[in-house]
Amino acid sequence: MFRLRPGTIKEITRCREELEEALVSVEGKEEKALNYPRLTGRLLPGDRVILNTTALHLGLGTGGRHFVFFNHRHSQVDMGDKGHIIKLRYTPYQLKVFSCEEEESPFNSCFHNYKGLENTPVLIGELHSMLIPAAAVIKYLCPHIRIGYVMTDGASLPLALSEGVNQLKKLGIIAGAVTSGHAFGGDLEAVNNYSALIAAREILKAQVIIITMGPGAVGTGTEYGFTGIEQGELINAVNILEGDPFLVLRVSFQDNRLRHRGISHHSLTVLEKIALTPATLCLPLVEEKKLNYLKSQLEERSISSRHQVAFREGTLVKEAMDYFHLKGNTMGRSFEEDRIFFETVGATARLVSEKILLEKSQG
């Protein structure tokens, strides 16, 4: 169930094509709300709206914002002509998209004629916060490379919620984004992760692909109850499509929960029990005590014997992010508060960049 309350739009504080932020009067208070124009139309001051207040009421991580559920001014909305694929199916918000696989799509032939990913490196991250540091390092080391991004439907479904994707596109760091499954709003829409990876390679012409879910990953403290479990399935998908999978380990020593100390149990479960095919992992070259702890975590579960483990310096990530004037945070922690998280992403991105540069030097 959701919690709905009536409100009135007081002021539009931020406006992008696919996302608006507003101040809204609700329950006798003035609070923030997000609006997706594609779902509920554009806002104007004075609009009477219905707000979904569920997450804020429960104290969940939506940045202290409600969501516009319905705008009384938009009682009739028409859809465009193209497309027959429905996302958010069988919900009040089901919407039509023009999927790149559809027969009428100008890209349809790509899915009949493709020759696989042809060993294209694919960085597979659990958290959306891995996207900015990974893309920044690769672009910093390989400025002429085309990076494609795929957002799965494991967390946030609207791509518009990601300020990071907006920044990376404006800076020309990523060539475009594909939204997969029920995720929507990308430069390209795809019905599943396999098609999305093909689209990134064949349509965006990506030479390296980064795939993560959107903001808002879910965990429950149980062995299999976390959305990041999709990483194992993505490793399998990349191998089936003849790509080169690099799993980005989730590493932190700042998380108070023991199950996330060092290498998160999410990454360990994915590598030990979900991934049926091998991937490359990379540990950052950090102080000896921490590095030995990370190594022991992999060895205890025999992960080192099933997957290829590399070691690289990850501190370059700060230099790369500063070069592009990008900021990073993860799980409410800044770069300085959780350096090893970002350095692990940076080390993996550095390893991928080395592969790209080596292949380029060999012609």
Strand partners, 179: 151, 189
Q: Running DSSP on this structure, what letter comes out for residue 64?
A: S
Is 62's pLDDT higher than 60?
no
Q: Do residues 195 and 275 share a domain?
A: yes
| Tens digit of each residue's pLDDT (9 = 90 or more) over 79-133 | 777 899 999 999 988 999 999 999 999 999 999 998 899 999 999 999 999 999 9
Angle, CA of 36, 40 and 43, to the nearest 5° = 80
Establish if 156 belongs to a structural domain. yes
Q: Which residue has the higher pLDDT, 257 or 153?
A: 153
Q: Are residues 31 and 121 in the same domain?
A: no
Distance, CA of 100 to CA of 85 (rounded, Å): 10
Whether residues 194 and 332 fall in one domain: yes
Taking the model in full, what pTM does it have? 0.95
Q: What is the CATH number of the domain that holds 43?
A: 2.40.50.220
Tell me if 341 is assigned to some domain: yes
Task: Inform me whether the pLDDT recorded for 60 exceeds 80.
Answer: no
**Is 320 inside a domain boundary?**
yes
Residue 67 lies in a domain: yes
Q: Domain count for the chain, please give it.
A: 2
Provide the total of helices (H) and of strands (E) in the chain, helices listed first: 12, 19
- Taking the CA atoms of residue 128, residue 250, residue 334 and residue 170 in that order, the dihedral angle to the nearest 10 degrees is -30
The helix-helix angle for 131-141 and 163-170 (nearest 10°) equals: 20
- Please check whether residue 259 lies inside any domain of the structure: yes
Kindly report the backbone phi and psi dihedral angles of residue 67, in degrees, each rounded to the nearest multiple of 5, phi listed first: -130, 135
Measuring CA to CA, which residue among 56, 74, 44 is closest to residue 2? 56
Residues 230 and 352 occupy one common structural domain? yes
Q: Which of 41, 71, 101 is the last residue of a domain?
A: 71
Does 312 score more than 90 pLDDT? yes
Residue 188 sits in the same domain as residue 328:
yes
Cα angle 246, 250, 255 (rounded to 5 degrees) comes to 175
Within its chain, how far is the Cα of 39 from the centroid? Answer: 21
- Answer yes or no: is 185 within a domain: yes
Cα 114 from Cα 241, distance rounded (Å): 10
Do 271 and 216 reside in the same domain of the chain? Answer: yes
* Mean pLDDT along residues 265-281: 97
- For residue 170, the enclosing domain spans 115-361
Does any domain span residue 76? no
Inside any domain, residue 161: yes
DSSP state, 224?
S
Contacts of 290 by beta carbon, 8 Å cutoff, 6+ apart: 253, 262, 340
Closest CA to 317 of 363, 359, 281, 352: 352
Indicate if 64 and 119 belong to the same structural domain: no
Sequence-distant (6+) residues with CB within 8 A of 324 are 136, 139, 140, 171, 173
